[in-house]
Amino acid sequence: MNNAKVPILGFAAFSGTGKTTLLTQLIPVLKARGLRIGLIKHSHHNIQIDQPGKDSFRLREAGASPVMLVSSHRRAVITEFAEAHEPDLNEELLAFDQSELDLILVEGFKQACFPKIELHRPALGKPLLYPSDSEIIAVASDETISLPESITRLDINQPVAIAAFIVNRLLGER
């Protein structure tokens, strides 16, 4: 990921494992440590963030791209791709403002080559991802599972411990 200007860490798992749930618990813990966190989430759906009938939707449908919506609280930029294609994380990092971040968390993009924590729930009956992904540095699970020494075992239900692992492994003690 040569377009990452700050450390980047992915969360890889099969759908329904709890990636978003863990991230919503983990982000406040990391922010409480003073970290500025960005997030990139991959979606397999044709996402719509503006709504039919709204001015931004009408302007985008008329052909404007990008369209930027700005308020006193937030900004959103909607850019249409010339052709539908599967996004490349390294390319998307070029469009992601990293100037005021300490860490980028990524949900999805599990085929891309960058450090990841695998989330695994044996009860779901899905295989582990780490044997075919050398970028997985830890596995967070809700059960004790056997792992090679090179992969750290984490408890998926302990976001404070996972945050400590992230800080120590990617950022140095902070």
pLDDT digits (tens, 9 = 90+) for 134-162: 999 999 999 999 999 999 999 999 999 99
User: pLDDT tens digit string along 57-105?
Assistant: 888 888 888 888 888 888 888 888 788 788 889 999 998 999 999 999 9
* Nearest residue to 19 via CA among 160, 120, 154: 120
State pTM to two decimals. 0.88
Two tokens at 68? Answer: 């930027």
- pLDDT for position 135: 96
How large a percentage of the chain has pLDDT more than 70?
A: 96
Please give the mean pLDDT across all residues of the chain: 90
Would you list the DSSP string of 112-167?
Answer: SSS-EEEEE-GGG-PPPSGGG-TTEEEEEESS-----TTSEEEETT-HHHHHHHHI
Two tokens at 99? Answer: 């100037």
Task: Round to whole Å and give the CA distance between 154 and 165.
Answer: 9
Pair 32, 111 in one domain: yes
Pair 62, 113 in one domain: no
Find residue 38's DSSP bridge partners.
104
Which own/partner pairs from 137-142 qualify as long-range (CB within 8 Å, at least 24 positions apart)? 137/169, 138/165, 138/169, 140/22
- Domain-terminating residue out of 86, 117, 151: 86
Residue 174 clears pLDDT 60, i.e. is over it? no
Look at the chain and report how many structural domains it folds into: 2
Pairing label, strands 75-78, 67-70: antiparallel
The HSE-up count of residue 153 (CA atoms within 13 Å, CB side) is: 10
The boundaries of the domain holding residue 57 are: 45-86
Pair 167, 131 in one domain: yes
- pLDDT for position 42: 84
User: pLDDT tens digit string along 36-65?
Assistant: 999 998 876 566 677 788 888 888 888 888
Q: Which of 4-8, 33-37, 71-75 has the lowest mean pLDDT?
A: 71-75
Confidence label for 172 from pLDDT (cuts 50, 70 and 90):
confident
Higher pLDDT: 109 or 168? It is: 168
Find residue 152's DSSP bridge partners.
138
Pair 64, 116 in one domain: no
Pair 108, 174 in one domain: yes
